[in-house]
Amino acid sequence: MNNFAMAMLCLTLSGQALADGIQTPNPSVFRNLVSAETVERTASDQYVRIIIDASAHHALATASNKDGQRINAITKRLLPFAARVNPRASSWRWESNYLNSPQVNAWCMPGGKIVVYSGLARGLALSDDELAVVLGHEIAHALREHARARMGKSAIVGMGTAVLGQVVGNGRYAGAFQLGGNLLSLKFSRSDEVEADEVGLDLAARAGFNPRAGLSLWRKMAAAAKGAPPEWLSTHPASSSRVADIERLLPKVEPLYQAARQGRSAK
């Protein structure tokens, strides 16, 4: 079996279990084409620029902002369970900020830099449980290194198939390209989004947030996204699909939530 075939096989193998919770596949081998340090450093630089710009436009919430405090408190409850998904998370310099903006959005960059927009938290009147599901989803993207894998795939396209076997085989060409563009402009695949939903729900449940809040969250999202393109025209699964997925996952994560509520460790 050649290197490319072996790499494709690795992508299909199921991997780590989140202890009585969600089962996740092994991380994409494509992430190995870009060093984690490089991606995290790039993310940190871009995050600093975003925060400076937000502050200059008086959009950055102050430390006394109640919504910002709520985001920080929820994040702190989620983070103790991050390293079990990705051991690197224990060394990340986690930070969260709240921006006054009408955008219905939130994100977590590689390395643990989180931003939530008021258009999401306040505009949709999200409860703490619903916000925990959102934050869990965004943190899951970072923990599963989806951005790093997308960069690796882009690198392969740029290099051409002639060197693909060598790239996957021993990483010879890793780092032989320049990271460019805005990390926030990366488009995750449907499978990335589904995985982030699953891992995020697991994180929220372990932290003692009701995973059933995912149902009301995505119904609110669906109402806010009227006129959005149908599912087959978007990499994001439709809200109706997400509701169905959450209903399917609830038997796996509700025991984690109940254990957390009763003070038993779900780590």
Residue 77 pLDDT level (bands cut at 50, 70, 90): very high
Dihedral sign, Cα of residue 52, residue 56, residue 60, residue 63: positive
Residue 261 pLDDT level (bands cut at 50, 70, 90): very high
Q: Is position 138 annotated as part of the catalytic site?
A: yes
Where do the structural domains in the chain lie, given as residue ranges? Answer: 23-261
Model pTM? Answer: 0.81
Q: Catalytic: which of 138, 145, 193, 198?
A: 138
State how far the Cα of 40 lies from the Cα of 47, in Å rounded to an integer: 10
pLDDT digits (tens, 9 = 90+) for 3-49: 333 333 333 333 344 557 887 778 887 787 888 998 999 999 999 99
pLDDT digits (tens, 9 = 90+) for 121-173: 999 999 999 999 999 999 999 999 999 988 887 766 554 444 444 444 444 43
DSSP string over 16-31: EE-SSS-EEEPPPGGG
Residue 106 pLDDT level (bands cut at 50, 70, 90): very high
- Name the amino acid, one letter, at 7: A
DSSP string over the chain: --HHHHHHHHHHSEEEE-SSS-EEEPPPGGGGGS-HHHHHHHHHHHHHHHHHHHHHTT-BPPTT-HHHHHHHHHHHHHGGGTTTT-GGGGGS--EEEEE--S---EEEETTTEEEEEHHHHTTTT--HHHHHHHHHHHHHHHHTTHHHHHHHHHHHHHH-GGGHHHHHHH-TTTT-S---S-GGGPPPPHHHHHHHHHHHHHHHHHTT--TTHHHHHHHHHHHHTTTPPPGGGSSSPPHHHHHHHHHHHHHHHHHHHHHHHTT----
State how far the Cα of 43 lies from the Cα of 107, in Å rounded to an integer: 12
